[in-house]
Amino acid sequence: MRLHVADHPLIAHKLSVLRDQSTDSARFRQLTEELVMLLAYEATRSVAVEDKEITTPVTTFTGTRLAEPRPVVVPILRAGLGMLDGMLRILPTAEVGFLGMVRDEETFEPSAYADRLPDDLSGRQVFVVDPMLATGGTLAMAIDFLLARGARDVTAVCLVSAPEGVERIERDYAQSANVEIYTAALDEKLNEKGYIVPGLGDAGDRMYGIVD
């Protein structure tokens, strides 16, 4: 597994505003989209391409296009949905799958309540998007869903990550798949409630408000 922590002043600035508890939901969603676009630029550096003959106003030219089969973007609901538009601005021809997961706040264990994925992901590059990589349980379950459908090339795009979650993914998937993590920040730790410190709070609630 390879971990990539973004090192860019624009990302650092936008993430700092995102962390601020006074940032309202509308601004939070806007900043999330902007951050994801910057992260996606790096995360797609190894996306598969092929040659394409084109005609410019001057001559013919061998250009480049994304190779088939197209990449798949998989947001983890609900907070990951706020990252989808940013990914699709960079990968507009990608297909989209969905995974609905929720974490038990007592045990920190995730459970899945919905999935909408292609039946066969063999040979597909898959980008999983979720704002928080905390314990790693949710991302691990998502990767297991993808591996079960034939995926072997999975890239996770996260806004903030905890060392505990990164270590779990590294331990669990060291041999079974090509897994990469792109994150805007590797934070200090998890607290006793399983929240990332300093983190940015509950990303889903901050994007969409609290739903009882």
Q: Residue 113 class from Cβ within 10 Å (0-12 exposed, 13-18 middle, 19+ buried)?
A: exposed
Q: Is 203 annotated as a binding residue?
A: yes
Q: Does 134 count as an annotated binding residue? A: yes
Report d(CA 46, CA 44) in Å as an integer.
5
Annotated binding residue 199: no
Q: How far apart are CA 138 and CA 144, in angstroms?
A: 10
100 belongs to an annotated ligand binding site:
no
Clarify whether 20 is annotated catalytic: no
Residue with tokens 């971990």: 3
51 tagged catalytic: no
CB 159 within 8 A of CB 127: no
Contacts 24+ apart (CB under 8 A), 168-174: 168/135, 168/136, 168/137, 168/140, 169/1, 169/133, 169/136, 169/139, 169/140, 169/143, 170/1, 170/3, 172/136, 172/140, 172/143, 173/1, 173/140, 173/143, 174/1
Of the listed 103, 149, 152, 172, which one is catalytic?
A: 103
168 has binding-site annotation:
no
107 is catalytic: yes
Q: Residue 84 annotated as binding?
A: no
169 appears as a binding residue in the annotation: no
Q: Is 103 a catalytic residue?
A: yes
Is 139 annotated as a binding-site member?
no
Q: Which of 2, 45, 64, 107 is catalytic?
A: 107
Q: Is 153 annotated as a binding residue?
A: no
133 is in an annotated binding site: yes
State the binding site: 78, 103, 130-138, 196, 201-203
State the binding site for 5-phospho-alpha-D-ribose 1-diphosphate: 78, 103, 130-138, 202
Q: Which residues are catalytic?
A: 103, 107, 202, 205
State the binding site for uracil: 196, 201-203
